[in-house]
Structure 1
């Protein structure tokens, strides 16, 4: 075990109290398969008021192994309450494996004092909690952090000035840049923003208030997302409107002073704390996970990366045995001095289509970028065009916005979906390659380079990579959106990032590029004018025209032999992405 970093060793006469986890926590543990056997019985001390940075009491539960001995501590800070699923998944399971687990409600949530303000207090409150830990008789000076989503954000906030006790981090589906979660290319990621509003407002109140709020949002989603203007329309549907929500939608520019200090991404620059990053190919925060891994690698920080076939939520359902095993191995290696569970290569990713895992030395992969060109007859070809004229056009009508289907959402509708009904619409273009003679492997970031014109000079452009199987079913792999705001009707060249993937197209399947004017309500709809999407009241239909020399840019591997990668066939313990939702 690493040497404690402060003088106060655990008190020799400290004995675990008699408190036990709730029956609900034990029932949830029994529902998972493939978890390692527990090493200890777990106990719990509930509701300790830990002073925050300004003295506000932050209610904190302490889970512990019911045994005497010297155990490291995990800090888990959450705005979503301290009950399900955090109590069993982090409190109980890790205490059973030999960790003290401190599960704390962020200020203004779960009974903690003060007011919750999305990102403004997490660094100070995290440091104050570590100061409290130093005074606890069971704390041995060896500290790790763990958690997903906003529970990842608070880890990066603490790592901005890492305390000397911090010796490992596990950031799962983690957030570090709120602006990038709420906006993409200057367009509000509307549905994810509303889901965040429901979660931070109601989840810490318990399962029933969250369920009611979620159903209310589902029922009123169309009413909210088609309001003119959009801002303010969500108050009635969300019940208690989050105080941060209006500010988030009112400031689409990342350089706006509103976002000053919001991003904690810089914590990875120069960090030396060993950090494990876990993501999913269909997670709304995948881009942030990959961004932080690149920063850690540039810093020379010990880091690992796991990306599975998961959405933001399915990683903690079907994928939990895999996620738990990865997290536990990292924490044992860096907090307990037991590296036996670590893999030899730092990167492990799931390959869709092949339903297989591969291990690599680094990410991104070095697969060469291959352009696939759309043609006027709706095909995709690898032959570059000989002219730059228009290929196809369509009319986008804000009164009947192109709907969103699957993709990286925070809701259960996320992930791969059948795109057949979407692609049958008049406002969706598709360009499809021929049936493949041999498997096509993609590994790395995907993008589209488009020459496109909008007759009003203002539009959104949504692009998506799909796989068409032998029966003609089209399913999404990755996608992206950009805002066109030239104010002129002449063609403009734009590059639309479409996230990243590791995917195999089997022989006989086809590659498809999908182009449309939006994906609503995942993104706020385009008004066809220069008005910001959240404030627009005038809506004008737009005709968009795609021109030749546009291209789908694929990270296409030449072959498996001699590439230094290892592809392991077989079903993943987390289930395939097709099973999500």
Structure 2
């Protein structure tokens, strides 16, 4: 190291102390020094910057984190100090093109080669003992999947929280562009290297303009006006709609799921936008026999990095104690730990995900009823979806950073049921508790006078006062060549207990904007078009049903 190691500052000490108290970690075991702005050469000549946090005392192992977000005082406490204070050396690397690292920032596109080059540099450092682990949340989870595309032999474990492994598939979840998430992230990222006060003021003052941009067409022009060319990747994301386009290949790390052999802990949230890849990743690794753990809590993406850290960070520390430091204590009683919401809510240990369940079926009927018996032939529901006045987003498992008039997560969605472009079917009050654990499925007998159409479905819980709260969503952009018939939608996985006396509500609509882009109804490119055409939908209730996975009685009792 050419740079000099320095003791952490008083402010760093205070930040470490406060963050440790907030997340309820055990007492620190050591102090540490920091060596800043170490240069890591990449194969193309670019140099990345890194900081190394070295415990004063015995070192239990090295933990690598790679981030595009920089490391301010609070950020270093959350990602570096939390482990360095407890005996782990921490290497914090800044992605190319961010916070002093060389090159151009191309989100999600350059991480595989850069990850391999970072490890090659680590091997040459005098402190490297031949073993390391990785850790990180969101983008810092994606950079771990990038490393796992070619797992180095020195890697012993990984803790990946709330992250995708196939970015293109996430951007086009259900076949349509995730408008608000991708727009907001891009906008905030263009501001992230400004001083903190101007940055915060710029983001807070932008909510109205972001709301207007999300409502505007065409999509590319709206983004250009607000971001002033500072997020060129956004134009690529919204324009390249064929995921078979070779351009997306660098951001598809699915092969990592077949290559990893070390223990992996996956952490997620029921209302996090990356819930599906988290659960899919667990299933694929478990099927291969990899030592994989899964934790899913009741939070959104933002909450998982805040209040959720009270679960996720202590759990990660214990995981590293076992798999990196070599503690003989087994950190998990079972591979899976999930939070079951509702009456008597709390954590549940499970041997696997999804657990064994029974099916219970509900049927939408005329009269806006969700019943135990199917509808008769001839019972139909009808609505018109107008892209000029798209059905709005009320909550759900997506990522929002600015909240420009929309809220992620659990929210009061009662207003949806009263809209003319929504069909709502509500059950009678439940006589007993109903614990749903797994992925509900909705089969919709769907017809449209316009082949260019989307379907959005939701299950909500309606309390005794008539207030409705979202539980699980499903969305699909329909193939215009597909004839009318049954459309099957697998909703977001849940672990939720519906309370006795409450009711279950099924929502069927033609979209959820701006969570997803609206379907213009014309077949034109939504990135560049403004022409819109409504679609009139007919739902054949006699072939429409809701299938919910219900916990076995022994689980219901617990």
Which TM bucket (shorter chain)?
A: over 0.9
Query: How far off its partner does 1:370 sit?
Result: 2.6
SS of the residue corresponding to residue 144 of structure 1 reads strand
Please, which runs of 5 or more residues in structure 2 have no aligned partner?
Answer: none
Structure 1: how far apart are the matches of 2:47 and 2:77? 24
Dislocated runs of 4+, deviation >4 Å: none
Q: Distance in 2 between matches of 1:464 and 1:408?
A: 11
Deviates more, 1:176-185 or 1:104-113: 176-185
CA contact (8 A) 2:457 2:475 kept: yes
TM-score, normalising length from structure 1?
0.90
Task: Measure, in 2, the Cα distance between the counterparts of 1:390 and 1:216.
Answer: 49
Contact 2:365 2:374 in 1 (8 A): no
Q: Which of 144, 147, 154 does residue 155 from structure 1 map onto?
A: 144
Q: 1:112 aligns with which of 101, 113, 126?
A: 101
SS in 2 for 1:261: helix
Match status 1:38 vs 2:31:
no
Stretch deviating more after TM superposition (479-488 or 541-550) = 479-488
- Tell me the distance in 2 between the aligned counterparts of 1:164 and 1:207: 40
1:288-327 per-residue CA deviation (whole Å, 9 max, x = no partner) reads 1011111111221111000000111101211111111111
Distance 2:557 2:308 in 1: 21
Match of 1:570 in 2: none
| Cα displacement (A) at 1:287 | 0.3
* Pair 237,29 (structure 1): closer, same or farther in 2 beyond 3 Å: farther
- Aligned position for 1:517: 510
- Equivalent position of 2:353 in the other structure: 363
Equivalent residue number for residue 422 of structure 2: 428
- Structure 1 equivalent of residue 249 of structure 2: 260
Greater alpha carbon shift after TM alignment, 392-401 vs 325-334? 392-401
What is the CA deviation profile of residues 135-178 of structure 1, one whole-angstrom value per residue up to 9, with x for unaligned ones?
Answer: 22222122000001111111011111111110010001012111
Change in 2 beyond 3 A, CA 1:22/1:155? farther
Change (3 A) 1:255 1:50: same
Shift of 1:431: 0.6
Shift of residue 24 of structure 1?
5.5
The equivalent residue for 1:574 is: none
Q: Among 348, 363, 379, which residue is 1:373 paired with? A: 363
SS of corresponding position for 1:260: helix
Q: Judging changes above 3 Å, is the alpha-carbon distance between structure 1 residues 175 and 26 closer, same or farther for their aligned structure 2 residues? A: farther
Does the 8 Å CA contact 2:59/2:87 hold for their aligned counterparts? no
> Is 1:554 matched up with 2:548?
yes
Measure, in 2, the Cα distance between the counterparts of 1:105 and 1:291: 28
Alpha-carbon distance in structure 2 between the residues aligned to 1:36 and 1:566 = 33
Matched, 1:544 2:537: yes
Unmatched segments (≥5 aa) in structure 1? 1-10, 568-581
The residue that corresponds to 2:200 in the other structure is 211
Partner of 1:473: 467
C-alpha separation between the residues in 2 aligned to 1:111 and 1:437? 61
Is residue 372–residue 380 contact of structure 1 (8 Å, CA) maintained in 2? yes
Task: Give the whole-Å Cα distance in 1 for the aligned partners of 2:177 and 2:473.
Answer: 16
Tell me the CA shift for residue 246 of structure 1: 1.0
C-alpha deviation, 1:344, in angstroms: 1.5
State whether residues 443 and 501 of structure 1, in contact with CA within 8 Å, keep that contact through their aligned partners in structure 2: yes
Larger mean CA deviation between 493-502 and 84-93 belongs to: 84-93
Cα distance in 2 between the residues matched to 1:407 and 1:66: 45
**Alignment partner for residue 235 of structure 2, among 240, 246, 264?**
246
The residue number in structure 1 matching 2:375 is 385
Contact residue 416 and residue 422 of structure 2 kept, 8 A: yes
The equivalent of 2:121 in structure 1 is 132
Q: Give the distance between the partners of 2:179 and 2:236, measured in 1 at CA.
A: 13
SS in 2 for 1:526: coil
Name which of 261, 264, 271 aligns with 2:260: 271
Deviation at 1:90, TM superposition (A): 1.2
Write the deviation string for residues 335-365 of structure 1: whole angstroms up to 9, x where unpaired.
0111426121010000011321101111112
Contact 1:198 1:210 in 2 (8 A): no
Cα 1:151–1:210 change in 2 (3 A) is farther
User: In 2, are the aligned partners of 1:405 and 1:417 still within 8 Å (CA)?
Assistant: yes
Secondary structure, in 3 states, of the residue corresponding to 1:231?
Answer: helix
Contact 1:247 1:258 in 2 (8 A): no
**Partners of 1:234 and 1:84 in 2: CA distance:** 31
Q: 1:487 to 1:292 in 2, by over 3 A?
A: closer
